[in-house]
């Protein structure tokens, strides 16, 4: 009961505080995700996502992603994924990007509350070049902290998360290039079908300071 009150209180605090920030933009993200068990430890994941910006009036990017995750035990897992992206660039046309991601994830179940940390290394290659540096793949390190509360005998599970993005192997004046604070909930429709609804406050520091508030809606299927 104490854990439930704590996580819901933090969730309300995050949404209220970030809602009062001066955001430069607003976007909506739409997604669908399918999880496919291969065996007891190995799972495949396929997803499609559409992201909008400019007060949700324009599509920033659309992508398809496929990956595999291996669960050593209930505390530790590793994963790898590839993302094929169609991204709006500075010439106002859509160009292809390729992104590879490698994850390690640790989880700590505390009765109905689960805390987790995910460390991700990603590399992204562009097909639209404005200068010679754009031809060099960009590396980013990401750290995500998350807490989710599984409310017993109730289909609604609230969660909160914080994620930082750090540019790697390049000259940068900042250690952190981007931050995301997320508050949301997972609603179980039936046993293998659920919907996740999130509020995300994202602050970019590179190439310039900008904020965006995001509503994310994702439909998830476990096959």
Kindly tell me if the per-residue pLDDT of 19 is higher than 60: no
Mind listing the pLDDT tens digit for each residue in 31-46? Answer: 999 999 999 999 999 9
Mean pLDDT of 34-61: 96
Kindly tell me if the per-residue pLDDT of 8 is higher than 70: no
Average pLDDT of the chain to the nearest whole number = 91
Mind listing the pLDDT tens digit for each residue in 78-123? Answer: 999 999 999 999 999 999 999 999 999 999 999 899 999 999 999 9
Confidence (pLDDT) at 4:
56
Q: Categorize the per-residue pLDDT at 192 as very low, low, confident or very high, splitting at 50, 70 and 90.
A: very high
Residue spans of the domains in the chain: they are 2-222
Q: Look at the alpha carbons of 5, 8, 14, 16 in this order and tell me if their dihedral is positive or negative.
A: negative
Confidence (pLDDT) at 67:
98
pTM for this predicted structure: 0.88
Confidence (pLDDT) at 21:
52
Mind listing the pLDDT tens digit for each residue in 134-146? Answer: 999 999 999 999 9
Question: Hey, which CATH number is domain 2-222, 3.40.50.720, 3.40.50.300, 2.40.160.40, 2.70.70.10?
Answer: 2.40.160.40
């Amino acid at each position: 009961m104490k854990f439930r009150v704590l996580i819901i209180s933090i969730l309300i605090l995050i949404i209220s505080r970030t809602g009062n920030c001066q955001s430069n933009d607003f976007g909506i993200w739409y997604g669908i995700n399918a999880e496919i068990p291969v065996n007891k430890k190995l799972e495949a994941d396929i997803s499609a996502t559409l992201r909008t910006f400019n007060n949700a009036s324009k599509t920033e990017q659309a992508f398809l992603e496929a990956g595999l995750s291996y669960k050593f035990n209930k505390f530790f897992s590793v994963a790898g994924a590839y993302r094929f992206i169609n991204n709006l660039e500075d010439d106002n046309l859509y160009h292809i990007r390729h992104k590879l991601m490698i994850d390690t994830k640790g989880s700590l179940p505390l009765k109905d509350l689960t805390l987790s940390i995910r460390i991700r290394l990603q590399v992204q290659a562009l097909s639209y070049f404005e200068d010679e540096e754009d031809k060099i793949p960009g590396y980013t390190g990401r750290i995500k902290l998350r807490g989710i509360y599984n409310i017993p005998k109730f289909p609604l599970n609230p969660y909160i998360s914080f994620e930082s993005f750090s540019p790697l192997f390049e000259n940068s004046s900042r250690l952190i290039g981007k931050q995301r604070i997320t508050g949301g909930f997972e609603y179980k429709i039936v046993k293998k079908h659920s919907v996740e609804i999130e509020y995300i406050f994202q602050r970019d520091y590179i190439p310039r300071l900008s904020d965006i508030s995001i509503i994310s809606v994702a439909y998830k299927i476990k096959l």
